[in-house]
Chain A
Amino acid sequence: MKTAIRTVQIFALVGVLFLGNLSAAAQEAREPSWVCLTLPNGIVAWHRQLPAARTISIRVCVPSASGLNPAAPANDRLLFSLMETAGEEYPRARLDRIRDEGALDISGTSGLIFSSLSVSAIADRGEEAAMILSSLLYKPARDRQIFSELRTRAVNELHWRDGNAWSALDPHLQLAVHGKTVDGAFYGLSDSALATTQLEDVLDHHRKILAFEGTFLVSCGPQSAAGMAAVLARSFTRPTLRPSPRPLARAPFPAATNAVHVFPHEAASSAWAKGIFAAPRPGSEGYAAFVLTSRIWSEMLMDSVRSRNGLVYSVWASSPSREQHASAEFVLYRCQDIQRALDLAAESLRKLREGIAVLPGPESPARSIADVLPATRNQILASIALQNITPAERTSSFASWLLASGDPKAFDRLPDAIRAVSPEDIRKTAQRFYDRMHWGVTLSPKAVTNFCGLRWNP
């Protein structure tokens, strides 16, 4: 056999560094776990050392967000957008130069229950990353022109989202199910909070949240915990003094209806349908079973609705996201015959409750939950590993799980919790959660009359 071999060297500039990391990684099967550091000023910091990492991520999480501040929901969104764009010590031009080097990436986001500002950097620039992060956090820019530009862009994003039939479905569905939209969520152009918020409002808000004692730091990179503690202590010096706002209360999920709500939208192309249903909180008992059940049901749906009948481009049941833990979704994406797809979905759900995970085919028998569970477990575990490779992914997962569950070990425990789920747990999960489904369908207005009688009756 002739096999042509040529060995090539990529990343020549950082090769030596990487060799060291590879060797270290090969020996370091036991990855250090999250270490809690308390800085001299009282801020709690969590650090995970990843010896092989070539970048570092440092994230500051602040317990302030639109859901906790429904009276002025735009403040956090605009503040964290301002922070990622410019600061008093780091004017926009200076940050732009840093960004153009590509060695540091700065990002500010604000959701419903927390906001965060993060800096990712090439590993040897950890000290600089911490300095920039603290400077942007403590001293945001007071530049009206930049603020006005960011506000206009935020309003534009709302225009975009509202004009998209798929995302416009969410507020309609929330209204139909809960009688109100989610507190603090930006839905529709009727929400004028963004357009009327002024720079002074945002800077006042900044002074209040700066001292929240629930603020914490998360970092991940090749640095040791002791080394990172020293780096963070040098940059984050202001004390935290003020109690944080209380976490959002979870509203009970309303009883089931069989109605399917149809929402016409000018921009709707093919029909999209979304069902929402109650779901357990991440980190709670039953969450791991829920994740596995969603995956098994998704496979059933792909098999029966798409593969065997070709009715949709895609169909899936999701697990609740880490932040919005009130409900999960079941989605028919670009569907040809919604009623038939719903009937097939309902049929697959009935079978799942009976312990069947794969419907019988022309040449294959039905398979039970016990038959498919080991493979589904492997798949979920691989997905978790795949989504948590880089330092930035690690700090993001850890922070959002800590905020959703209140337990710093919750995310690390998830793999073991997934391994412990039994077939009976799956069956019970299907019975407990999937019977309270509420449906929304978005269609072009011309097609609505054909779909008014849609029903969901599992």
Chain B
Amino acid sequence: MPARLILALVLLLLLAVHLPAASTVFTLPNGLETIVFPRPDVPLVSIQFSIRHGYIYANDPLDEGIAHFYEHMLFKANSLTKTQQEFMRRLNEIGAAGWNGTTGSEAVTYYLTVPATEAERALELWSAVLIDTVFDPPEIRREISVVSNEIEGNRRDPGRAFWRLVNAALYGQDQMYRTGHYETAHMGRFDRALLQREQARWYTPDNCMLSLSGAIDEREALQLVSKHFSRWKRGTPRPVTRPLQFKPRTDRSRNLVLGGFTNPGMLRVLLLWPGPSVLSNRNETLTADVLSYYLSEKSGGFLASLTTNTALFSTDTAGFTFSTGRYTSEFMFQGEIPATNIPGLLARASLLQNTVRQALARIAEGKARISPESIRRIASRIINDRIFRHEKPPALLQDVSWWWCTADLAYWQHYDRGIATVTPRALQRLARDWLAKPPLPVLWAHDSLRAALEQQGGPNP
């Protein structure tokens, strides 16, 4: 059947299926998935490209940081704009607001918002950026300098330095090249050939999703995306990506005490565990989300019991989180205790950590049952949070983009329904399978407290 006829039928189908508040998803023959959220009340079109790439996808220690560097190189020369200067000029001409790229552990995204009248020129520019990237050697050398400034600054940032050490303790030094805390030592070898290899592996339509929201309807989106992205060729088979391996711990693991610049009046107490990943058990990741919401409720029993029975300073600065990952996920508890009465500080930190673990053990053993009503409340909370957040088209696209990279569109589309089907027994199983294991205990102290803590607990493991 001629392509035009099929396209016309497709458009008729779109018109016929006029669903309220609907998003429309279409997939080009080359595998490029596109999701459109029309918002005729906003005079702009927000566009986001998501690539399943990021730090964890580095296959070799020599490739550390390549995902981030590649992201930088896209803001340069391509078939439409011959230099970075021209690229910037083109972005200005289309009135691009709020544009940038981000590289995370498992996701790379590029986003911009343009006046609705410039949607086509924006898509045309980004098709050139993604498909016809030119890796000009002098530009590569200059960008190595720019990225080095960024990374060296990050490395000296007290907060980032802390998380680098925590990551090293969780995964070991030999896996650090696959985290966001990388060294710049190997950047000197980044060249055109390496970038082209990355392009062939990861920057392909079947490894990318395009999302749009604003004053654009399904028909226009389909027409523009087909026009500018149909020529993009499918990729070659990609290397297998492995999860990060957690270093094993025992119940006798001592606290990792980290100093540096932090608040001298408080000691931050953390516990970290590995968690289920989307590829290993996607249903369990939904259960983990419900559990982390439940344990972070300000009016809930978990935080209240910690303020009653331990020196936890405030429920506003304490919480339990689960960071869903495609390959690697983590649970984390964080809370603060006042850094007074130094001789007993380590004991108070340990009391908080033990009380958290005991509360989790009670859930795991079925002694503290989480009611179906609590789960319904959390499901409703998640919907409300989304209503607030998704009033802003770029935030909506950021969420859908992140979930696509971490899981897929089906996960995102059925997320609310999935959350609502979590059962008390599933929560108990999750706590038993993951949170009954020994966590990594960490104390984050001001430098002035570190020596005293080490004296109380022995040198760092």
Mark A residues whose CB is within 8 Å of B. Answer: 1-16, 18-19, 21-22, 25-26, 28, 50-55, 85, 93, 96-97, 99-103, 105, 120, 122, 149, 152-153, 155-156, 159-160, 163-164, 266-267, 269-270, 299, 302-303, 306-313, 334-336, 358, 361, 363-364, 367, 372, 375-376, 378-379, 381-383, 385-386, 389-391, 393
Contact: A358 with B89, CB < 8 Å? yes
Stretch at the interface among B123-131, B169-177, B276-284, B381-389: B381-389
Nearest Cβ on chain A to B96's Cβ, whole angstroms: 6
Give the Cβ gap from B268 to chain A, nearest Cβ, in Å.
Answer: 11
Question: For residue A269, which residues in chain B have a CB less than 8 angstroms away from its CB?
Answer: 152-153, 155-157
Q: Are A101 and B317 in contact (CB under 8 A)?
A: no
- Cβ-Cβ contact count across A and B, 8 Å cutoff: 249
Q: Mark B146-170, 1 if CB is under 8 A from A, else 0.
A: 1001101101111000000000000
A313–B148 Cα gap in the complex (Å)? 8
Interface: B40 (CB within 8 A): yes
How many chain-B residues does the 8 Å CB contact rule pick out? 96
Whether A270 contacts B153 in the complex (CB less than 8 A), given A379-B96, A389-B42, comes out as yes
Chain A nearest CB from B42 CB (Å) reads: 6
- Nearest Cβ distance between residue B391 and chain A, in whole angstroms? 4
Q: Give Cα distance in the complex from A1 to B227, angstroms.
A: 12
The reply to whether B153 and A7 contact each other, CB–CB distance below 8 Å, is: no
Residue in contact with A363 in the complex, picked from B13, B82, B261, B390, CB distance below 8 Å? B82
Bound complex: CA of A391 vs CA of B41, how far in Å? 13
Cross-chain contact A163 with B261 (CB below 8 angstroms): yes
Known contacts A120-B388, A383-B97; 4 additional CB pairs below 8 A are A3-B226, A163-B158, A269-B156, A361-B85
Task: Decide: A3 and B7 in contact? CB cutoff 8 A.
Answer: yes
Interchain CB contact (< 8 A) of B95 among A11, A52, A310, A382 = A382
Which residues of A lie under 8 Å from residue B388 when comparing CB positions? Answer: 55, 102, 105, 120, 122
What residue of chain A has the Cβ atom nearest to residue B154's Cβ? A269
By a CB distance below 8 angstroms, the chain B residues around A55 are 387-388, 391
Chain A residues lying within 8 Å of B20, measured Cβ to Cβ, are 9, 15-16, 18-19, 22
Contacts A25-B40, A270-B152, A379-B96; A9 near B142 (Cβ below 8 A): no
Chain A residues with Cβ below 8 Å from B4 are 1
Q: Which residues of B contact A379 (CB under 8 A)?
A: 92, 95-97
Contact assessment for A8 and B25 in the assembled complex, using a CB-CB cutoff below 8 Å: yes
Contact status B381-A382, CB under 8 Å: no
Select one of A103, A310, A382 contacting B96, CB under 8 A. Answer: A382
- B28 at interface, CB cutoff 8 A: yes
B61 within 8 A of A: no
Closest to B45 in A: A382
When the two chains form their complex, are residues B297 and A100 in contact, meaning their CB atoms are under 8 A apart? yes
Residue contact B155 to A378, C-beta cutoff 8 Å? no
Q: How far is the CA of A85 from the CA of B314 in the complex (A)?
A: 12
Also in contact, A8 and B413, with CB within 8 A (given A358-B85, A389-B391):
yes
Hey, what's the 0/1 contact readout for B310-348 against A, CB within 8 Å counting as 1?
A: 000111110000000000000000000010000000000
Whether A378 lies near B391 (C-beta < 8 A) is no
Of A2, A19, A303, A306, the residue contacting B21 (CB under 8 A) is A19
Residue in chain B with minimal CB distance to A360: B85
Query: B357 to nearest A CB, angstroms?
Result: 24
The winner among A152, A267, A334 for most chain B CB atoms within 10 A is: A334
In the complex the two chains form, is A96's CB within 8 Å of B299's CB? yes
Q: Which residues from B are CB-within-8-Å of A11?
A: 21, 383, 386-387, 390
Task: Quote the shortest CB–CB distance from A348 to chain B (angstroms).
Answer: 13
In Å, the complex CA distance between A346 and B4 comes to 56
Contact A299–B22 (Cβ < 8 Å): no
CA gap between A390 and B113 in the complex, in Å: 16
Q: Please indicate the chain B residues that have their CB under 8 angstroms from the CB of A306 in the complex.
A: 146
Contact B381 A267 (CB under 8 A): no
| B6: chain A residues within 8 A (beta carbon) | 1-3
